[in-house]
Amino acid sequence: MDVSSGICVKGARAICEAVGENPKQIVRLVAELGLPAWRRNGTGSWRALPEDLKRWVLVQRNQHLPELPPPL
C-alpha cells in the first residue's frame, strides 16, 4: 500500500499493512510500542498520518538493526 498519497491512513488493517505488522496487534502496538495511531474518543476506526508511520518504522529499524562497523 502506498501511504504517501493520502492525508490519513484509516483502519487497523491499512495502518498495519503500511508498517508490516499484524492488525490484530494494533492495541498492543499503540500502547506498548508507541505506534502513532489513534481512535476518536477511544472508539471507531483507527487513524494515522503516513509521515508518522514512516518515522515509527525508521525508529523500529534503528532499534533492531545491529550496529554496523564504520565504513572503510
Tell me what pLDDT residue 71 has.
78
Supply the mean pLDDT for the chain: 91
Question: Which cell goes with 8?
Answer: 490519513
Q: What is the mean pLDDT of residues 4-30?
A: 94
pLDDT interval class at 3 (50, 70, 90): low
Question: Which cell goes with 36?
Answer: 502513532
Question: Under DSSP, is residue 38 helix (H, G, I), strand (E, B) or coil?
Answer: strand
Question: Which cell goes with 26?
Answer: 494494533
pTM metric for this prediction? 0.83
Q: What is the mean pLDDT of residues 30-54?
A: 97
pLDDT at 16 over 90: yes
Domains and CATH numbers, the chain: 3-63 (1.10.1660)
